[in-house]
Amino acid sequence: MRLSQVVIRRFKSIKELSLTIPARDERRQGSADFVSIVGENNVGKSSILEAIRLACPGSGKPTIDQFRNLDPSIGPIEVELEFDRLTDADKEKHAVRVHLFVDHGVEKYRIKKVWRAPGVIPESFAYSPDTRQYRFREWPDLKSKAEFANLGAEWKAIVDSADAAGSKKLSKPSKDNYLRAAVQMNSPLIEETEPWSPNPGGNLSNLDSVLPTVIWVPALRETGAEADVSEKQSAVRKIVNALFEQQLSKHDKVIRFRRAAEELEQLFASDGKHKIVASVEAHITSKLKELIDICADLRFTAPDVTADLASKTEFRVLDGNISTRPEHQGHGAQRSIVLALLQMWAEQLRIIGSSDASRTLFLIEEPEIYLHPEMCRRMRDALLRIAQSGIGQVVCTTHSPVFLDLADRHDGIVIVKKNNSNPVAIQRTRDIFGQDEGDKERRSRLRMLLNFDSAANEVFFTSRVTMVEGDCEIAALDAIARRLCHLGEIHWPTYLAARRSVAVINCRGKWTIPAFQVVLNEFGIKYRVVHDEDDADEATRANDQIGALLPSQNCRLVHRPNFEEQIFGKNWTRDKPWKATTAIESAGIVGQPLREFFEYVLHERIECLCTPKDDAAMGALASMTFQQVPRRNLRDRLRKLNVSPHAIQEAHRVEQIFRLPAGPSFAPDVSEAAQLFRIEGSRVSAFAIVTGKSMEDTLVSGDVVALEFLDSVYLDPVSDDRDKMPKDSFCARVEHDGIYVVAINDDVEHRSYTIKRVRVHELVTGGWLCQISADNPETSWGERGHVEIRKTDRVHFAARVVGIVTPLEATETRETVIVPIADA
């Protein structure tokens, strides 16, 4: 028989949850007895496997940790298992035969196990809808029949009826006998209960004998137990036993050994006992007779050679030419070994025709864990062979799209989510694609896409989904992000976090979109669609299908007549992704149509990507109150200082000039006691030569800049009990879009300074944030040289770039000491 449904109540965080294990459908090539449970971490996926395992034989008794809220008084743990496809042999089992029922024309068998306290065996029940069950509305805790009779006429009638029905009068109250009497009388003291019959088969062992054999592979399990032949329940012990019993048992040498053992047994047989054995027996008997009137009887049982061989077998693996125990292999190899052993054992059961073969249930946590992508696909294929060939059924939890199949096994996908802290399961148990030509075409298109790109299954691992027609839209999305980052409008790590929370599915054509819509609609997954309008009749038909399947019309963005013509005014026939990327990256600005497309696909507004959302000190960022400054105008904003060649030469002579890298580098200590002088009204402490290209939008390598040393200008870490520095106080020392010599965190102590652009952003919440960035046209914002200043950071603003001095010729400089110029 086949496990078809599971209901779990009050197990760990689960209040009540049910799931269905789909039967293989020959009309769907990928269909299987296979369930993949997906969901975020800590939603209860593993608890489902644990509860199923608890209800099957050999799992032990529950612990207090498995009761809901660690409190058995809330209610007992209950697990229901329902089975279909019962064989004639199944129907004859003692625990089954009187409890079969028919549901929608299918013969089924359902049991329930109930645990009321930790460390106890369960109460067991079988579902019997054709048998009416009753119970007393209230059962008095009394000790004598007289006490019951004194409760009133109704109880006295039950007591008298129970006495009259028995062969002799009852000496004390019997709840079962009283209940039978009350049912016969149709007493108002009883009520009908759910149709569950207790103790199917008479005892728990009879029930357990018909339940599935569970193969349990938790996420962190190593191979030690499963590969140890001395462990009676290990996979390798079962395999070796099966091999020896079914194959070696037919070997000539084993047959000769057994014949010799049988001949040895004849020495002890009563009708032909060897005289030596008889003599020993007689001698022992004579000694016994001296003490007690009994006789000795010597018997001999020949050893089972196959069982003895199995217990003496050691399992090892060859890694190259080296033989090792499995536990000395890597975790990925260990999990592969365990599954290979289990699969082989199940196949052996099928080969020998054991009834256990069809009742093997594989419960596997995260089969992809520790595995290389190729090995992960092999693991999936191995599990599918188990689930499709009748070897057993598979229920696994997973975070990998490889183990999902939208086209043929969508009925085997279970999404677990939390609803008011209670895990709930979302599953579609029917085939959502019908058998008409339209549905067959949708399934085929979806199957073709999944064969080409299994990442399309990621729709089950994200909270947001956008479907696009092809590569051009996906290439444009990333190109827009790079351009916006280059312009300083978005923060690259924040964009990446948003991008990874959206599954952007390349449907590789308009006609695959409706197939995806059917699946997503069934599972209640929200999505958006971006597609071209086009003008052909076939395209119009596809557009109509997409529109008809939309949950709402604001879930669609249509480009007329197509993406490239509406956005770029071009009618490209080839190389569309490359041409779109080039057009976006070469443009000075990002136009409104591209911005709308970007925000729509990403499910996020651009202004919300300016700063990390998880920084509590920054506050919620709804919009910015400042206008982004184009990066290339900063050089013009810096003052051009006319410094006499004599002053520069004098600075060089007294080692009062140094090189300042536009990137992290060990730099001289900046003296806060530097003497100041004025050039064209600006205070100048020293000169510096810029090296490197990371500030090339503003300062190029070889530029000479004048610096004003700042007196103790720090941003210190903000503790929970201290307010952050007000923006006005900070901006009184450090101006927005200024160029500064800075060091951050450990670099302050290590005196590793860099020259960077400093930006101060004001938030609508009243807070503000600080960014330190490079200005290199060859890199995007955030790709390098970009630092987001948080409340836990310490920053030293050592000097401000006052202006640019006429560039020097190649000049020998020092990199270790800054000495302020004494006079201008």
* Full DSSP string of 748-794: HHHTEEEEEEEEEEEBTTS-EEEEEE---TTS-TTTSS-EEE-TT--
Nearest to 51 by CA among 23, 94, 13, 95: 13
Nearest to 21 by CA among 9, 35, 8: 35
C-alpha to C-alpha distances, 46 to 33, 299, 459, 624, 663, nearest whole angstrom: 19, 52, 21, 44, 48
Q: Which helix (H) or strand (E) element contains residue 113?
A: strand 106-115
What is the C-alpha to C-alpha distance for residues 703 and 755, in angstroms, rounded to an integer? 12
Residue 496: count of CB within 10 angstroms of its CB: 13
Q: Are 439 and 433 in contact (CB under 8 A)?
A: yes
The span from the first CA to the last CA of the chain, in angstroms, equals: 98
Q: Are 684 and 802 in contact (CB under 8 A)?
A: yes
Average pLDDT value for residue range 709-735 = 77
What is the C-alpha to C-alpha distance for residues 795 and 781, in angstroms, rounded to an integer? 20
Question: Structure tokens of 669?
Answer: 């200590």
Q: Are 477 and 601 in contact (CB under 8 A)?
A: yes
Helices vs strands, H then E, count in the chain: 24, 34
What is the C-alpha to C-alpha distance for residues 504 and 464, in angstroms, rounded to an integer? 9
Amino acid 242: pLDDT: 65
Q: How many residues does the chain have?
A: 824
What is the C-alpha to C-alpha distance for residues 465 and 525, in angstroms, rounded to an integer? 8
What is the C-alpha to C-alpha distance for residues 95 and 199, in angstroms, rounded to an integer? 8
Half-sphere exposure of 657 (CA within 13 A, CB side): 22
Least confident of 114-128, 168-182, 210-224, 336-350: 336-350
Proportion of the chain above pLDDT 70, given as a percent:
77
Amino acid 634: pLDDT: 66
Task: Give yes or no for residue 655 having a pLDDT over 60.
Answer: no
Burial zone of 731 (CB within 10 Å; 0-12 exposed, 13-18 middle, 19+ buried):
middle
What is the C-alpha to C-alpha distance for residues 323 and 514, in angstroms, rounded to an integer? 54
Average pLDDT value for residue range 749-778 = 73
Residue 449: count of CB within 10 angstroms of its CB: 21
Least confident of 57-61, 134-138, 322-326, 676-680: 676-680
What is the C-alpha to C-alpha distance for residues 286 and 515, in angstroms, rounded to an integer? 90
More confident residue, 299 or 357: 299
Amino acid 270: pLDDT: 63
The string over 343-378, giving b where at least 16 C-beta atoms fall within 10 Å of a residue's C-beta and e elsewhere, is bbbbbbbbeeebeebbbbbbbbbbbbbbbeeeebbe
Side chain identity at residue 61, one-letter code: K
Amino acid 814: pLDDT: 35
Would you place residue 170 in the very low, low, confident or very high pLDDT band (cuts 50, 70, 90)? low
Residue 430: count of CB within 10 angstroms of its CB: 11
Task: Give yes or no for residue 603 having a pLDDT over 60.
Answer: yes
Side chain identity at residue 425, one-letter code: A
Question: Structure tokens of 216?
Answer: 């349990």
What is the C-alpha to C-alpha distance for residues 237 and 311, in angstroms, rounded to an integer? 8
Would you place residue 465 in the very low, low, confident or very high pLDDT band (cuts 50, 70, 90)? very high
Least confident of 208-222, 230-244, 456-470: 230-244
C-alpha to C-alpha distances, 715 to 216, 240, 408, 748, nearest whole angstrom: 55, 69, 58, 11
Question: Structure tokens of 766?
Answer: 């009243």
- 3 state DSSP class of 26: coil
Q: Are 29 and 65 in contact (CB under 8 A)?
A: no
Amino acid 677: pLDDT: 60
Q: Give the strand pairing for 527-532 and 639-641.
A: unpaired
How confident is the prediction for the chain on average, in pLDDT? Answer: 79
| Dihedrals phi, psi of 546, to nearest 5 degrees | -60, -45
Q: Tens digit of pLDDT for each residue in 662-694?
A: 544 444 444 444 455 666 667 777 778 787 766
Task: Give yes or no for residue 404 having a pLDDT over 80.
Answer: yes
Q: Tens digit of pLDDT for each residue in 530-564?
A: 999 887 677 788 899 899 999 887 899 999 888 99
More confident residue, 388 or 695: 388
- The single residue listed with the structure tokens 């199940």 is 346
Least confident of 21-35, 152-166, 234-248: 234-248
Whether the bond between 173 and the residue before it is cis, its omega within 30 degrees of 0, is no
Question: Structure tokens of 771?
Answer: 């960014």
Q: Is 39 left (phi over 0), alpha (psi -120 to 50) or beta?
A: left
Q: Tens digit of pLDDT for each residue in 325-354?
A: 777 777 777 777 777 776 777 676 666 665
Would you place residue 473 in the very low, low, confident or very high pLDDT band (cuts 50, 70, 90)? very high
Would you place residue 132 in the very low, low, confident or very high pLDDT band (cuts 50, 70, 90)? confident
What is the C-alpha to C-alpha distance for residues 484 and 269, in angstroms, rounded to an integer? 95
Which positions ≥6 away from 628 have C-beta within 8 Å? Answer: 487, 488, 489
C-alpha to C-alpha distances, 322 to 317, 318, 337, nearest whole angstrom: 8, 5, 16
Q: Which helix (H) or strand (E) element contains residue 444?
A: helix 437-452
Nearest to 539 by CA among 573, 511, 576: 511
Average pLDDT value for residue range 387-416 = 88
Q: Which stretches of 320-476 are assigned E, i.e. beta strand?
A: 322-324, 360-365, 393-397, 413-419, 422-427, 464-468
Q: So what CATH class is 631-805?
A: mainly beta
Question: Structure tokens of 747?
Answer: 């670099």
With residues binned 3-state (H G I as helix, E B as strand, rest as coil), the percentages for the chain, rounded to 5, are: 35, 25, 40
Q: Which helix (H) or strand (E) element contains residue 483?
A: helix 471-486
Amino acid 359: pLDDT: 76
**Whole-model pTM over 0.75:** no
Most confident of 193-197, 204-208, 613-617: 204-208
Nearest to 582 by CA among 457, 692, 472: 472
Question: Structure tokens of 244?
Answer: 């020896």
- The single residue listed with the structure tokens 């001698």 is 283
Q: Give the strand pairing for 464-468 and 527-532.
A: parallel
Nearest to 690 by CA among 790, 735, 757: 757
What is the C-alpha to C-alpha distance for residues 646 and 666, in angstroms, rounded to an integer? 29
Domain ranges of the chain: 141-190, 228-314, 437-609, 631-805
Average pLDDT value for residue range 426-430 = 87
